Structure 1
Amino acid sequence: MESTRTYGEACATAHALDLIGERWALLVVRELLFGPKRFTDLRAGLPKAGPNRLSRRLRELEELGLVRRRKLPPPGASWVYELTDWGRELEPVLVELGRWGRRSPFRDLSAHISSDAVMLALRDDFGPAVGDHFDATYAIRFGEDHYVVRVTAGSLDIERGDADRPDAAIDTDARTFASLMIGSLGLKEALSSGLVTLSGAPEAFERLLAAFSRPEVASSP
């Protein structure tokens, strides 16, 4: 590890922070939850990490057995990073941290947010009201980052890729989509301003947006 700092405790929580408490480590894990990424893709998701620091974090996570590097078969034949089984066990930790953090009164909602961060929030904040379960497939595209979102019987699944005949296809950027999710931007306004391009059934996308929980912000001191 880059840092030799340790809490020096037998407590499992303290030990876990010794392993993944360095800056950017958990965010690297977040960026790999939906599948492998090239170094350049990780840089795009974590632009403020810096290439040298990101390289160190990846190396440290490899040494810990949380991340591995492998070469894709032809025709891609590029090197990618992916989570190991143990690394993927950090997913519920990130989910709960995100839920807790979304109640913070100090969060800067205008700051950078990665495509994968938005998709993780989309999946974990999804919760249609009882009796409002629906089935639909969505293509959500943030530039080169493409996702397939499938809603089935009240549950939501996300994977990288392109949807075949989606009920609705949305082209926008991660920041705008996050604003739609939290309700600070209306869909009609986003469409009329050109921030969002929507094809397919608008009502299908409206139903998806209506199914997100919006946690109450904690009281500030």
Structure 2
Amino acid sequence: MPRQQAPATRPSRRRSYDQFCAAARALDSVGDRWTLLIVRELLAGPRRYTDLHADLPGVSTDVLASRLKDMEQGGLAVRRRLPPPAAATVYELTPHGRGLLPVLTALTRWGAPALDERRPTDAVRAHWFALPLLSAMDQLVCSGTVEVRLDEGEFHLRTGAVPSGQGGYGYGPAPDADACLVLDAELCLALAHGDHTLAEAVGDGRIEVRGESPLADEIRGLGQGLQEDAGRATRDHRPTRA
């Protein structure tokens, strides 16, 4: 008897909304659960699979592997081998993937009011506060690196013109930081929500600015300028003697 041929298998296809709409097409790529949070992690730089899993509490290894594979196929991320002595495999965003930074920043600003109270079950990582703080620092003109110190840990931000291939923030301290800001996570969220401005927080001492550089001076100047404006307003409203 002739050997029966196995039925041809169709190539796997990711789910799609099948709508001719830019928002729907975008959600075809990043709408699955965990995908945007993986992007959040990779926006800070290349990461090993084990590090991603450690900083995404609650994701299973199967789901993480599946999402990373989808992101590779969709052109959002690539996997590469680091040269010795590291000799580790890392995932990093493509330029297309890094283009999601404004999306994550807008989502963070929109979601900030929901963080009115930290639940006992909530995990937290210091670098998760980088996105809220990035929006508050858009006004800075000087380019450079700002190290941020919270009780939860440290991360760093890049202001002004960001070098090609780098994201707006990174993990841990920056040895070559142009400025260092010491504040708390609550203030990061208040800045994101618009309850305070960077100038107000520096001016009233809720943010301690360290470092000697044009960038550090610019940040200090925001607070000093606000204090000077307040002083002028007080003088202008002071009653004159007859």
Deviation at 1:16, TM superposition (A): 1.2
* Number of matched pairs: 176
Aligned-partner Cα distance in 1 for 2:33–2:146: 36
1:147 and 2:155 correspond: yes
Question: What is the letter of the counterpart of residue 6 of structure 1?
Answer: S
Give the number of the structure whose alpha-carbon radius of gyration is greater: 2
**What's the CA shift string for 1:161-184, capped at 9, x where partnerless?**
5324776586xxxxx94234346x
Aligned-partner Cα distance in 1 for 2:62–2:132: 28
State the partner residue of 1:116: 127
C-alpha spacing 1:138/1:8, structure 2 compared with 1 (3 Å): closer
Which sits farther off after the overlay, 118-127 or 161-170?
161-170
1:32 and 2:42 correspond: yes
C-alpha spacing 1:99/1:115, structure 2 compared with 1 (3 Å): same
Partner SS state of residue 63, structure 2 = helix
- Structure with the larger RCO, 1 or 2 (CA within 8 Å, 6+ apart): 1
C-alpha spacing 1:2/1:112, structure 2 compared with 1 (3 Å): farther
What is the TM-score with the length of structure 1 in the denominator? Answer: 0.63
Describe how 1:18-167 pairs up with structure 2 within 5 A. Answer: 18-104=28-114, 109-110=118-119, 111-126=122-137, 137-138=146-147, 140=149, 147-149=155-157, 158-160=169-171, 161-164=173-176
State the partner residue of 2:165: none
Between the two proteins, what is the percent identity of the paired residues?
35
C-alpha spacing 1:146/1:81, structure 2 compared with 1 (3 Å): farther
Aligned-partner Cα distance in 1 for 2:99–2:62: 26
What is the TM-score with the length of structure 2 in the denominator? Answer: 0.59
Aligned-partner Cα distance in 1 for 2:145–2:97: 31
Aligned-partner Cα distance in 2 for 1:97–1:77: 35
Partner SS state of residue 92, structure 2 = strand
Question: What is the letter of the counterpart of residue 122 of structure 1?
Answer: L
Uncovered stretches (5+) of structure 2, i.e. residues with no partner:
1-10, 161-167, 191-206, 211-218, 224-242
State the partner residue of 1:204: 209
**What's the CA shift string for 1:122-172, capped at 9, x where partnerless?**
2223367x9xx9x995353788x75344678xxxx64445324776586xx
Deviation at 1:18, TM superposition (A): 1.5
C-alpha spacing 1:147/1:163, structure 2 compared with 1 (3 Å): farther
RMSD: 3.7
C-alpha spacing 1:142/1:69, structure 2 compared with 1 (3 Å): farther
Question: What is the letter of the counterpart of residue 175 of structure 2?
Answer: A
Aligned-partner Cα distance in 1 for 2:126–2:93: 18
Aligned-partner Cα distance in 1 for 2:151–2:45: 16
